[in-house]
Amino acid sequence: MNKNSWEQLQAQDSRYIWHPYASATDIPEVFPVVAASGVRLELADGRELLDGMSSWWCAIHGYNNPALNRAVQEQLGRMSHVMFGGLTHPPAVKLARLLTEITPAGLQRVFFSDSGSVAVEVALKMAIQYWYSVGRPDKQKLVALRNGYHGDTFGAMSVCDPVTGMHHLFGDVLPAQYFVPAPESGFNDDCPEQELAAMTELLNAHHQEIAAVIVEPVVQGAGGMRFYSPGYLVQLRALCDAFDVLLIFDEIATGFGRTGKMFALEHAGVEPDILCLGKALTGGYMTLAATLCSERICIGISEGEAGVFMHGPTFMGNPLACATAIASIELLLSQPWQRNIQRLQQALELGLAPARDLDQVADVRCLGGIGVIELREPVDLKQIQPLFVERGVWIRPFGKLVYTMPPFIMSDTDVATLTHAMVDVVASL
């Protein structure tokens, strides 16, 4: 694409498109992408960027993957979509069975949806409708952690941290939920009982009106890239059981190997009542999410007043997305993926270590395929984003965090290039 065409594309983008978390008047620079392959994005001006974000954490196999391409093409030749009300199809059935095989044994029912936020909405509705169906309609409240993030739709926003989160502007119109402090113990630390003191006190006082607790297991993502002790989840499961409250795990960001386990919950050996999956489910090819639940939840809702679960997305169980998800999961399972994630973590730790010596850096931490530089002050995205592009990498910081979640296929050499650019840009601030 020549320079005039490229500039015209940017101008039309500025005229017609409103980008996520962006102003339509103080318009940030955007970088037109015309192709992607492996771990690289090709810009319209011919430059290549090493992708450190996996397109918001989902393109775990990189771009233009032959196995995923083939799955899309083969399914497209059969049918691209069919409604899921009263109909079914082989990709949805196979994917549902596969998901129940790789998740905890008690999660035996799969509800498909379109995105991670909707998967969370479904989980919250499942919890509330379950209690209503079994004759306890007062159990409608939800409990979440400070620093948590669960999506941008209204139900999901209601369980995001209303103070440190991104949705405080909507605080007066969102359902009022309960929040407790996030665990302070690090990933490799034991979790002392006092870290659950606030949770224990809350459940003891209000369990009769609480439907569920929702948490991101082990890693709090968009709320700060915080890694906490798996022991917290063990104690939380026991508390939920003791007070007859459901437990929801939001693994939209962490599922499918990102933390070094297939699912982050495996670090604790804990099984939730409801599990939300998304992002990497299709390897980043198209939007699809899933909410899994136990037979207890499924049967309780089905035998209740409504007799059905009151939700039904138009594109639920899309055949193209389901076929691609099957191919993505099978590709991951066919490889020594745990050893590969260990390799990725070691490369990230090695490459980001020099940032520890910088005065503007508060912390450097890595877990699986996640590498984080936490600064003492928030970054200016409009200033910092072009600095990364100039160095040939794509990193999308937010708040005080300069972080990476690269595709699992990224080589050690490319990780070194990526992390060197991260440290270099942070040092220049």
**Which residues form the catalytic set?**
21, 149, 250, 279
Distance between CA atoms of 95 and 328, rounded to whole angstroms?
A: 11
Tokens at 368, concatenated: 């699986």
Distance between CA atoms of 261 and 251, rounded to whole angstroms?
A: 12
* DSSP-derived secondary structure letter, 189: S
Residue 193, burial from CB neighbour count under 10 angstroms (0-12, 13-18, 19+): exposed
Distance between CA atoms of 355 and 366, rounded to whole angstroms?
A: 12
Strands (E), 44-134: 48-51, 107-113
Helix %, strand %, coil % of the chain (to 5): 40, 15, 40
Q: 388-391: list long-range contacts, CB under 8 Å, 24+ apart.
A: 388/421, 388/422, 388/425, 389/31, 389/47, 389/49, 391/421, 391/424, 391/425
CA 237 to chain centre: 21
Asked if 61 and 331 count as a contact pair (C-beta separation under 8 A), the reply is yes
Residue 140, burial from CB neighbour count under 10 angstroms (0-12, 13-18, 19+): middle
Tokens at 359, concatenated: 């005065």
Distance between CA atoms of 299 and 2, rounded to whole angstroms?
A: 60
Distance between CA atoms of 182 and 185, rounded to whole angstroms?
A: 9
Asked if 320 and 131 count as a contact pair (C-beta separation under 8 A), the reply is no
Tokens at 28, concatenated: 């940030």
Distance between CA atoms of 81 and 68, rounded to whole angstroms?
A: 17
